[in-house]
Amino acid sequence: GAGVSQSPSNKVTEKGKDVELRCDPISGHTALYWYRQSLGQGLEFLIYFQGNSAPDKSGLPSDRFSAERTGGSVSTLTIQRTQQEDSAVYLCASSETTGDQPRTQYFGPGTRLLVL
Amino acid sequence: AQTVTQSQPEMSVQEAETVTLSCTYDTSENNYYLFWYKQPPSRQMILVIRQEAYKQQNATENRFSVNFQKAAKSFSLKISDSQLGDTAMYFCAFMKHSTGTYKYIFGTGTRLKVLA
């Protein structure tokens, strides 16, 4: 079946512009995560959506970052007034939250963002 | 706060040999899950193996196995009969489950290179 998809795969923008990154999770997955991976670094947690609950925004680095998830499916991560330090790969993952099995995350291919 | 430490930024191994990647974590919780993910140059994160903390038996998936030492909070990954396709970044991850939420914490990764 279809996995997690993200678009665009690459985005180049100018400093100060706003960008929107999209994530389509696996159908039926109620949990959705956004991570940021800077060059040579691990994954930095940004935000977590779980069903209809209020999202966990504890990882967002500043108020320029926001995300929403419409209809419990597609999610958009928005970065306003981009800065050069926002350049990174942004990864989205989704997982099931039913049953007793470990909640394995399935990742998308990421969006590579370059802020000039 | 939970932390995950991967103390080996880079490793190399000869094809067909065995290599062990280390991971330690810190938590006060008793019920959690541990994962190893692989990120090849294509950037796609792939689950390698997972372990439930309540299980004493070490998880095994074909050539991949873990050495889970709960008391020592250690979760190393052993790759047997290394193949060129195993070249990738490997991330150790800790997942905690708390009142219906599932949050992951990732280590900074180990870059593994398999040599022909």
What pLDDT, in 10s, does the model give residues A82-91? Answer: 999 999 999 9
What is the DSSP annotation of chain A?
A: ----EEE-SEEEE-TT--EEEEEEPPTT--EEEEEEE-TT--PEEEEEEETTSPPB-TT--STTEEEEEGGGS-EEEEE-S--GGG-EEEEEEEE--SSSS----EE---EEEEE-
Q: Answer whether B113 touches A (CB < 8 Å).
A: no
Minimal Cβ distance to A110: which of B43, B52, B97? B43
- Cβ of A106 within 8 Å of Cβ of B47? The answer is yes
- Vertex A38 angle, CA B47 and A49, to 5°: 60
Is the pLDDT assigned to residue B100 strictly greater than 80?
no
Structure confidence at residue A98 as a pLDDT band (50, 70, 90) = low
Please answer yes or no on whether B105 and A45 come within 8 Å at the CB atom. yes
- In single-letter form, the type of residue at position B15 comes to E
| Residue indicated by tokens 């992951």 | B104
- What digits encode the pLDDT tens for the residues B60-79? 999 999 999 999 999 999 99
Residue A71 forms contact with B (CB below 8 Å): no
> Tens digit of pLDDT for each residue in B13-32?
999 999 999 999 998 888 88
Does the structure show a pLDDT above 80 at A80?
yes
Share the mean pLDDT of chain B.
Answer: 91
